[in-house]
């Protein structure tokens, strides 16, 4: 199994992000962005690279340095202390990578005082909704126009990490 490295995004990731987005299936693009992005716009790429006092973004890279997953958080928004969004390349799905990215984002957010997490999930994204129900049985879910607005309490850091892994917190 290939190993991945989790790290913060950096400005030099622009072309890697563009290739990552273009390589996602239409289905995966739609589940994450609620639309297909066959030719990623410069604005979308910039948004995924944006990091400031309110935004944080992480990527997972493979052993060649190519991006295979992206996760971002936004603090100070609306219905939760921190809102998150994650997308994993089709070939890497089902390996726990998204869960590790969520864990890392929420650990960082908790250190900054966040107590609640929010996310918008497409109603057809049953896999993620099942994961949320398993990890956050008390999560509040509101259906609005085909999406599910999820709000949950952030547990202790490390809540989502796979316990069987011998990897360090920043590798899978």
pLDDT tens profile 72-105:
999 977 789 999 999 999 999 999 999 999 999 9
Q: Whole-model pTM above 0.75?
A: yes
pLDDT tens profile 17-29:
999 999 999 999 9
According to the model, what pLDDT value does residue 43 have? 95
Residue of higher predicted confidence among 63 and 36: 63
Work out the mean pLDDT of the chain and round it to a whole number.
88
Average pLDDT (142-167) is: 69
Least confident window among 22-26, 56-60, 134-138: 134-138
Q: What is the rounded CA–CA span in Å between residue 112 and residue 115?
A: 9
Residue of higher predicted confidence among 50 and 171: 50
In the predicted model, is pLDDT for residue 153 greater than 60?
Answer: yes
Return the closest-CA partner of residue 85 out of 145, 19, 7, 29: 29
100 by Cβ neighbours in 10 Å (0-12 / 13-18 / 19+) ranks as buried
């Amino acid at each position: 199994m290939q190993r991945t490295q989790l790290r913060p995004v950096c400005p030099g990731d622009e072309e890697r992000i563009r290739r990552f987005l273009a390589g996602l299936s239409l289905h995966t693009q739609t589940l994450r962005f609620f639309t297909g992005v066959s030719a990623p716009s410069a604005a979308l790429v910039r948004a995924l690279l944006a990091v400031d006092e309110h935004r944080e973004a992480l990527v997972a890279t493979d052993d060649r340095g190519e991006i295979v997953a992206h996760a971002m958080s936004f603090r100070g928004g609306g219905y939760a202390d921190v809102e998150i969004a994650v997308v994993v390349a089709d070939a890497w799905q089902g390996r726990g990578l998204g869960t590790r990215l969520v864990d890392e984002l929420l650990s960082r957010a908790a250190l900054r005082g966040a107590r609640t997490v929010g996310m918008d999930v497409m109603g057809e994204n049953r896999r993620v909704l099942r994961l949320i129900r398993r990890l956050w049985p008390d999560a509040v879910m509101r259906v609005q126009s085909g999406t599910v607005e999820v709000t949950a309490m952030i547990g202790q850091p490390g809540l989502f990490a796979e316990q069987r892994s011998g990897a360090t917190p920043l590798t899978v």
